[in-house]
């Protein structure tokens, strides 16, 4: 018994760490397959021993609340669903009842409230009892009706999701491999819970209703399907469903399964609910699960194969990702031969070695993953040299996850990404240089250092001889390069690819040092850390970069090619908000959006932060009587809460 209790505690610790990493920190320390197996083991042990600890993942649902969004208690707990991987269990569960079988979408559950036909509130599921208010963000969902014909009080639940096609487009625009989103669910969660709903609007979030909680005195004749039809009449997209019985459900499950590969919305299974509302309610619920519905998770098709090699793929940041290459196998109707291993921690956990017999599967029937290593030889060497440049490698432990990095700052793999960053829109903004084109130019030795971009005309004949290049595209490229010769200092600083320096930091640094590059280059760490927003890590990155002799040479040669424009307007604007820190919350009326308010504050020398602290001077909120967390904090600290109009009057701002 003691051993079983010890194992329960061990499993709780492992699973909670994995959940925290996946849902809160957007990183993966184990595969879905491994998580499910450990979860099932824990659940079985709890049933056997009748011991369930309060922090067990079998007792908790949802993510922890970490953002600054306003929190709100749900009127009734939002429970998770019991699950099965066996169709026979679904038949037994249904018995003589009819049910509705629908996609179990993999996004973020949202509760919507409408009154008098207007959307008045949207709250995330949160931890099942307390959610986050995201009403303004929900109003940007591409298919969500803001107004409906039904004028009574109505509450419904649904899933906010991002399509695979949109997910891939967004990831394609992110150059840094480490910064790419891991999956649509993480992207959706971050998008829905933004403090700035402009970002949400750009992410093409869709909403699919799956449960009508309340609709006044409406009579749905005891049928969930009638509720779905009602929601459709109100303009909602309802999660796709099919009516089933015990006799038909096996065939319908197969129909759903056949469509997974072509389905543009992420799903992680199916949901079966009794159509008979009264019958479902009569069954009650357990502490964690309702009894009127059940989830069906795909029984992963697992194939046994042999690990042939591990490919190490370097990126611009120096991160080297391990990829498993194995004998080709058929999975879910397609041939697969490779799967990402994500990091050293996962690779070591599998105890991999070349020639090992492994099992592989497709997570949610889509993404190839290594499930288990059956032989566990553990003899796989971690490369000591980068496969791209031959430089030394180093294993770094970040928050308990071990990853491999190339230490050579002039690594050729980094070079492609460095050039790609340099020509990107927010940097030098040079059109016509995709990574593929840059790679060709680097291979042809047209490009070695960043300043070589401005000398490409000497290779005109050779460039025109390359596949895909004609005179028109060449002329357009040279025109774009010449246009980029006139730039600003913030763009130039950002384009250099200094670690931890984004465009906003670059703007702030340039302003601090009066747009004098030499003054910025000579700044010391102890001086930089006194600047708001610059900590020790960023300060060290700046100093290390400018102290490097090679970097200094590159900068000087670039400056010979460029004309750096010096802003005149900043010097003429009275810095009447200098030294003041503002927080902006809620909707705005006189400005287009909160970003426009922020731009005005920064123009006059002020600073805008996301949270109210003792350093905050003013909280701008048009609803200064609300009980939002920011208002409460400001009142606790005695910080003035001013409306937009009061802000404009106080600082003599006119639009």
Half-sphere exposure of 648 (CA within 13 A, CB side): 13
Quote the tokens at residue 104. Answer: 């179990």
Half-sphere exposure of 345 (CA within 13 A, CB side): 14
d(CA 636, CA 623): 17
Q: Which one-letter DSSP state was computed for residue 381?
A: P
372 CB neighbour count, 10 Å cutoff? 17
List, for the chain, all residue ranges whose pLDDT scores fall below the cut of 70. Answer: 21-28, 32, 54-55, 59-68, 172-180, 182, 287, 299-300, 316-317, 332-333, 364-366, 399, 409-410, 412, 504, 532-533, 568-574, 624-625, 655
Q: Is 395 exposed, middle or buried (0-12, 13-18, 19+ CB in 10 A)?
A: middle
Beta-strand relationship, 154-161 and 267-274: unpaired
Quote the tokens at residue 449. Answer: 């250092």
Quote the tokens at residue 379. Answer: 């003899």
d(CA 424, CA 57): 43
Q: What is the pLDDT of residue 570?
A: 45
Length of the chain measured in residues:
655
Quote the tokens at residue 617. Answer: 């001077």
Report phi then psi at 300, rounded to 5.
-55, 130
Q: What is the pLDDT of residue 517?
A: 92
CA distances for 606 relative to 450, 575, 591, angstroms: 35, 8, 17
Residue showing tokens 């029984």: 299
d(CA 406, CA 350): 23
Helix (H) or strand (E) holding 401: strand 401-406
d(CA 642, CA 58): 45
Q: What is the pLDDT of residue 620?
A: 92
Q: Contact 624/640 with Cβ under 8 angstroms? A: no
Q: What is the pLDDT of residue 633?
A: 86
Q: What is the pLDDT of residue 157?
A: 94
Helix (H) or strand (E) holding 99: strand 99-105
Q: What is the pLDDT of residue 410?
A: 63
Q: Is 219 exposed, middle or buried (0-12, 13-18, 19+ CB in 10 A)?
A: exposed
Whether the model pTM is above 0.75:
no
Quote the tokens at residue 268. Answer: 């992680």
Closest CA to 64 of 25, 103, 27, 117: 25
Share of the chain above pLDDT 90, in %: 28
Helix (H) or strand (E) holding 440: helix 435-443
Residue burial 14-41, b: 16+ Cβ < 10 Å; e: rest: bbeebbebbeeeebbbbbbbbbeebbee
Beta-strand relationship, 334-340 and 319-331: antiparallel
d(CA 34, CA 13): 14
Q: Tell me the three-class secondary structure of 209-226, residue by residue.
A: EEEEEEECCCCCCCEHHH
Q: Which residues fall within 8 angstroms of residue 559, CB to CB, at 6 or more apart?
A: 517
Quote the tokens at residue 221. Answer: 């004749």
Q: What is the pLDDT of residue 306?
A: 93
d(CA 323, CA 60): 33
Select which of 9, 50, 83, 104 is catalytic.
Answer: 104
Q: What is the pLDDT of residue 251?
A: 93
d(CA 451, CA 387): 26
Long-range contact pairs involving 600-605 (C-beta distance under 8 Å, separation at least 24): 600/653, 601/577, 603/570, 603/573, 604/573, 604/574, 604/575, 604/576, 604/577, 604/578, 604/651, 605/575, 605/576, 605/577, 605/578, 605/579, 605/580
Edge-to-edge strands of the sheet including 618-620?
607-609, 581-584, 618-620, 641-642
Q: What is the pLDDT of residue 158?
A: 95
Handedness of CA 81, 86, 92, 98 (dihedral sign): positive
Per-residue pLDDT of 594-642, as tens digits, reads 778 887 887 787 888 878 888 899 999 887 667 777 888 888 888 999 9
d(CA 477, CA 481): 6
Q: Which residues fall within 8 angstroms of residue 12, CB to CB, at 6 or more apart?
A: 42, 53, 55, 56, 57
Quote the tokens at residue 655. Answer: 């639009």
Q: What is the pLDDT of residue 558?
A: 95
Q: Contact 98/273 with Cβ under 8 angstroms? A: no
d(CA 116, CA 150): 7
Based on the residue annotation, tell me whether 104 is a catalytic residue of this protein.
yes
């Amino acid at each position: 018994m003691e051993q079983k209790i010890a194992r329960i505690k061990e499993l709780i610790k492992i699973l909670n760490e994995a959940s925290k990493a996946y849902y809160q920190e957007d990183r993966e320390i184990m595969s879905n397959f491994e998580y499910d197996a450990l979860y099932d083991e824990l659940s079985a042990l709890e049933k056997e021993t009748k011991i369930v600890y309060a922090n067990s993942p079998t007792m908790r649902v949802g993510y922890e609340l970490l953002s600054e969004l306003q929190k709100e208690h749900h009127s009734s707990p939002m429970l998770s669903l019991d699950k099965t991987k066996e169709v026979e269990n679904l038949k037994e569960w249904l018995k003589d009842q009819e049910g509705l079988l629908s996609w179990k979408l993999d996004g973020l559950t949202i509760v919507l409230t409408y009154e008098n036909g207007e959307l008045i509130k949207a709250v995330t599921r949160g931890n099942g009892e307390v959610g986050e208010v995201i009403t303004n963000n929900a109003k940007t969902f591409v298919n969500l009706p803001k107004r409906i014909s039904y004028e009574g009080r109505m509450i419904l639940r649904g899933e906010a999701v991002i399509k695979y096609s949109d997910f891939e487009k967004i990831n394609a625009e992110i150059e840094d491999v480490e910064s790419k989103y891991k999956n649509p669910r993480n992207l959706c969660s971050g998008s829905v819970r933004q403090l700035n709903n402009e970002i949400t609007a750009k992410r093409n979030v869709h909403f699919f209703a799956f449960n009508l909680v309340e609709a006044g005195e409406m009579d749905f004749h005891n049928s969930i399907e009638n509720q779905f039809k009602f929601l459709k009449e109100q303009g909602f997209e309802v999660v796709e469903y099919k009516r089933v019985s015990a006799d038909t459900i096996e065939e319908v499950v197969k129909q759903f399964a056949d469509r997974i590969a072509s389905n543009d919305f992420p799903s992680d299974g199916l949901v079966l609910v009794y159509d008979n509302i009264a019958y479902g309610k009569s069954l009650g619920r357990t502490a964690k699960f309702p009894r009127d519905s059940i989830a069906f998770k795909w029984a992963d098709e697992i194939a046994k194969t042999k690990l042939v090699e591990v490919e190490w793929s370097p990126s611009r940041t120096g991160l080297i990702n391990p990829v498993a290459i194995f004998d080709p196998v058929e999975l879910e109707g397609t041939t697969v031969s490779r799967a990402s291993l994500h990091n050293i921690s996962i690779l070591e956990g599998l105890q991999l070695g070349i020639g090992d017999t492994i099992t592989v599967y497709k997570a949610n029937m889509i993404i190839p993953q290594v499930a288990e290593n059956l032989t566990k030889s553990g003899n796989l060497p971690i490369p000591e040299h980068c496969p791209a440049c031959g430089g030394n490698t180093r294993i770094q432990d970040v928050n308990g996850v071990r990853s491999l990095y190339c230490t050579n700052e002039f690594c050729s793999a980094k070079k492609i990404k460095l050039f790609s960053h340099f020509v990107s829109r927010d940097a030098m903004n040079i059109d016509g240089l995709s990574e593929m084109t840059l790679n060709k130019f680097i291979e042809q030795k047209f490009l070695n250092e960043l300043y070589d971009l401005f000398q490409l005309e000497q290779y005109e004949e050779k460039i025109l001889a390359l596949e895909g290049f004609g005179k028109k595209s060449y002329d357009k490229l040279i025109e774009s390069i010449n246009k980029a010769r006139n730039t600003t200092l913030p763009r130039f600083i950002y384009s250099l690819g200094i670690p931890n320096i984004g465009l906003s930091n670059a703007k702030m640094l340039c302003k601090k040092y009066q747009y004098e590059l030499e003054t910025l280059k000579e700044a010391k760490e102890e001086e930089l850390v006194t600047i708001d927003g610059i900590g020790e890590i960023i300060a060290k990155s700046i100093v290390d970069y400018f102290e490097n002799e090679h970097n200094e040479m590159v900068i000087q040669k670039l400056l010979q090619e460029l004309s750096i424009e010096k802003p005149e307007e900043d010097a003429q604007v009275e810095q009447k908000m200098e030294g003041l820190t503002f927080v902006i919350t809620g909707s705005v009326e006189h400005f287009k959006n909160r970003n426009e308010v922020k731009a005005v504050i920064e123009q006059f020398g002020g600073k805008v932060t996301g949270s109210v602290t003792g350093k905050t001077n003013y909280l701008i909120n048009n609803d200064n009587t609300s009980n939002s967390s920011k208002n409460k904090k400001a009142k606790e600290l005695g910080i003035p809460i001013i409306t937009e109009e009061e802000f404009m009057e106080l600082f003599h701002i006119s639009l």
